[in-house]
Homo-oligomer: A and B are copies of this chain.
Amino acid sequence: MLAEHINPFINSLTTTFQTMLDCKMTRGQLTLSDSLATLYEVNGIIGLSGKAVGTVILSFEAQLAIKAASVMLMTEASEIDTDVTDAVGELTNMVAGSAKAKLEKYELSIGLPSVIVGKPMHVNFPSSVRPIVVPFTCDWGTMIMQVGLEPKEAPVAVG
């Protein structure tokens, strides 16, 4: 993954959290993902495809997911229920959608978000792809964004 491609995702994430949740996210150090990188308990995942293919994962500590959903839905969530996973899916959708608009040359469209919940878990991308991992912190806790995006190879002319 090209490092220049991560900036639209970082900007989308900080803007989405500021606008939707009045939440200031502070970015930590970017790293290239290890094999089987660790995730937190609540993970929003969405695919991107077009002239590049990609996946975005927003991985939330449980307490951060619950607080973000509570603010977004103007309710007081106390556990990971479908309201919380819907809110996490929607945040994932917004971050990917807004980054997509800044990567026009790839003519990306986004898939359907799914949200995976469990004990801390691991994720792996195809070994041909080195996703970029970006940690963020805010007053409510910690999250990680992981993005893999690879331009598609141009078709080879035949004949």
Taking beta carbons and an 8 Å cutoff, which residues of A are in contact with B?
35-36, 39, 43, 45-50, 53-55, 57, 81-82, 85-86, 89-90, 109-127, 129, 148-150
Contacts and interface: CB of A to CB of B under 8 A. Distances in A.
A111 B55 contact: yes
Contact of A113 (B89, B117, B126): B126
A64 to B, nearest CB: 17
Task: Give the secondary structure class of A's interface.
Answer: strand
Contacts of A119: 118-119, 121
Q: How many subunits of this chain does the assembly comprise? A: 2
A93 to B, nearest CB: 8
B49 A110 contact: yes
A109 to B, nearest CB: 4
A82 B112 contact: no
B126 A90 contact: yes
Contacts of A46: 47, 55
Nearest to A34: B82
A39 B111 contact: no
B82 A114 contact: no
